[in-house]
């Protein structure tokens, strides 16, 4: 009989990373001898409360099978056209033995601090509510197109990060409804918000950057070297 899993993690990794200008997906670029995806999966695997990881990659992905992941408790599932499709595919793949909670993390965020993941998990479990890592906006924010129309007060503004953690059944329902109705779903929290579900904001480190451009890659290489020095 299958053992019930309390927390499973989903890593959507089916994107092509067009803005990187590479001939392979951005999750397979190298940082300090390992791919971005390997760094990300190793971070999640080091969190003891996460019992299994589901990685959603493209069916045509030729790189994933070459990674050194034998020591990790993970499953490969087929990714979808968009991030929300990939996450939903992963949730459906675990439906025979569903977890209580699901923690979703971007493949291209290898710098996430393990202590931040543990803090998010602790707050969600204690409150029995879903939540996301986020960082308070520090810069002055303008609204406009060609010209600045106004300065937006930043007191209540947060930058959404990942992981994002929700009860399995609620996230499955939120994504299913959102996608079937054509709603714009930019992250798991936006799907939950559409259903009026609470989304806790758990402050995390602002250096939990998402690698999207070549400049991000250069910054990530530097930040990871700094993390290793301080560990």
What fold, for 7-230?
Spore Coat Polysaccharide Biosynthesis Protein SpsA; Chain A (3.90.550)
Mean pLDDT check: name the lowest of 80-94, 103-117, 212-226: 212-226
- State the DSSP string of 125-166: HHHTSEEEEEEE--S-EEEESSSEEEEEP-TT-EEEEEEEEE
Please give the helix or strand (H or E) that residue 28 lies within, else none: none
Q: How many CA atoms lie within 13 A of 128 on its CB side?
A: 0
Instruction: Round the CA-based radius of gyration of the chain to a whole number and report it.
Output: 18
Please give the pLDDT value at position 17.
60
What average pLDDT does range 113-122 have in this prediction?
Answer: 97
The structure's pTM equals: 0.93
The tens digit of pLDDT for each residue in 166-196 reads 999 999 999 999 999 999 999 999 999 999 9
> Which residues make beta-bridge pairs with 53?
9, 74
Burial environment of residue 208 by CB neighbours within 10 A (0 to 12, 13 to 18, 19 or more):
buried
Indicate the pLDDT class of residue 4, thresholds 50, 70 and 90.
low
The tens digit of pLDDT for each residue in 12-62 reads 999 766 555 566 788 999 998 999 999 999 999 999 999 999 999 999 999
What is the separation, in whole angstroms, between the first and last Cα of the chain?
40
Q: Structural domain boundaries of the chain?
A: 7-230
Indicate the pLDDT class of residue 3, thresholds 50, 70 and 90.
low
Please give the pLDDT value at position 206.
94
């Amino acid at each position: 009989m299958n053992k019930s899993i309390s927390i499973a993690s989903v890593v959507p990794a089916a994107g092509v990373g067009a803005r990187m200008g590479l001939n392979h997906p951005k999750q397979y670029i190298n940082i300090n001898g390992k791919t971005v995806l390997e760094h990300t999966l190793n971070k999640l695997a080091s969190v003891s409360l996460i019992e299994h990881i589901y990685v959603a990659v493209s069916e045509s992905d030729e790189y994933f099978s070459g990674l050194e992941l034998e020591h990790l408790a993970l499953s490969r599932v087929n990714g979808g056209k968009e991030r929300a499709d990939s996450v939903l595919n992963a949730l459906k793949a675990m439906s025979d033995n569903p977890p209580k909670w699901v923690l979703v993390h971007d493949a291209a965020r290898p710098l996430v601090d393990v202590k931040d993941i543990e803090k998010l998990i602790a707050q969600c479990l204690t409150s029995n509510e879903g939540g996301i890592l986020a960082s308070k906006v520090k810069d002055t924010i303008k609204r406009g197109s060609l010209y600045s129309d106004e300065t937006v007060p930043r007191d209540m503004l947060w930058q959404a990060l990942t992981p994002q953690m929700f009860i399995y059944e609620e996230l499955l329902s939120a994504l299913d409804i959102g996608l079937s109705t054509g709603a714009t779903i930019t992250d798991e929290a936006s799907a939950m918000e559409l259903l009026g579900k609470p989304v806790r904001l758990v402050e995390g480190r602002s250096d939990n950057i998402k690698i999207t451009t070549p400049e991000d890659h250069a910054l990530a290489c530097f930040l990871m070297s700094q993390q290793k020095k301080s560990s």
